[in-house]
Chains A and B, each alone.
Chain A
Amino acid sequence: EADIYQTPRYLVIGTGKKITLECSQTMGHDKMYWYQQDPGMELHLIHYSYGVNSTEKGDLSSESTVSRIRTEHFPLTLESARPSHTSQYLCASSGTGEVQPQHFGDGTRLSIL
């Protein structure tokens, strides 16, 4: 049973649109992450948060923004979608402590036409 939820599961949308990918977790985890993953490739960290009102950019900000107003919610927004944003986006969370495994949502497969 999933404790971290991502919506939508799939999205096909045109260039230039503003998109928000939703991620929520019910585990009370302080740390949350957004990754981008292309088929057969490694995960790239886009943004992360260590708690409410805390957000940091990863190696691949990809012209996106995040917010962390509530512990359980960590949405990712693309202000103006481009075909290069086509990818899978994975949200993850981890508990208190510096070494905790990350738990992943099922991902959003995004296609920009």
Chain B
Amino acid sequence: GQNIDQPTEMTATEGAIVQINCTYQTSGFNGLFWYQQHAGEAPTFLSYNVLDGLEEKGRFSSFLSRSKGYSYLLLKELQMKDSASYLCAGLDSNYQLIWGAGTKLIIKP
């Protein structure tokens, strides 16, 4: 079956760095997406990885290891506005997104 696993909740301190992990099992693989979703709002696109390695976008970076079926989202210089759920989604062989349940990130002052 297809499955996306990520931690349910994480807590970090303002100004610090946090890494949110995601492991995936999909029927075929055409890349991995990360989305941010603030409470009561729509998900917004953060990053896409299809090749192994690190993609950096400002304070946010995303890493992929295809051989390990593993990705992480790295958030640096955390700000209070980064408190949100972070959704990992794998793109399968039919180009359909398989979604994780999301990791709720709580930022403390």
Question: How many of chain A's residues have a CB under 8 angstroms from any CB in B?
Answer: 16
Would A41 and B45 be within 8 Å (CB), given that A99-B50, A99-B91 are in contact? no
Q: Does A54 contact B (CB under 8 A)?
A: no
Scan residues 43-74 of chain B and give those whose CB is less than 8 A from a CB of chain A.
Answer: 43-45, 48, 50
Q: Does A90 contact B (CB under 8 A)?
A: yes
Say yes or no: A106 contacts B95, CB within 8 Å. Answer: no
14 contacting pairs across A/B (C-beta < 8 A)? A40-B8, A40-B102, A40-B104, A42-B102, A43-B87, A43-B89, A43-B97, A43-B99, A45-B96, A98-B95, A99-B30, A99-B95, A102-B45, A104-B43
Complex A-B, nearest 7 residue pairs according to Cβ-Cβ distance, in ascending order: A104-B42, A101-B45, A42-B99, A43-B99, A42-B101, A98-B95, A104-B43
* Cβ contacts under 8 Å, B100 to chain A: 42
Q: B interface vs A, CB < 8 Å?
A: 4, 8, 30-31, 33, 41-45, 48, 50, 87, 89, 91, 95-97, 99-102, 104
Say yes or no: B42 contacts A90, CB within 8 Å. Answer: yes
Q: How far is the CA of A40 from the CA of B97 in the complex (A)?
A: 18
Q: At the interface, is chain A mostly helix, strand, loop or mixed? A: loop
B19 to chain A, nearest CB (A): 21
The count of A-to-B residue pairs whose CB atoms sit within 8 angstroms is: 44
Say yes or no: A101 contacts B87, CB within 8 Å. Answer: no
* Cβ contacts under 8 Å, B104 to chain A: 40
Q: How far is the CA of A104 from the CA of B101 in the complex (A)?
A: 17
Out of A42, A45, A106, name the residue touching B42 (CB < 8 Å).
Answer: A106
Q: How far is the CA of A28 from the CA of B15 in the complex (A)?
A: 40
Q: Does A103 contact B (CB under 8 A)?
A: yes
A110 to chain B, nearest CB (A): 14
B71 to chain A, nearest CB (A): 15
Q: How far is the CA of A41 from the CA of B33 in the complex (A)?
A: 17
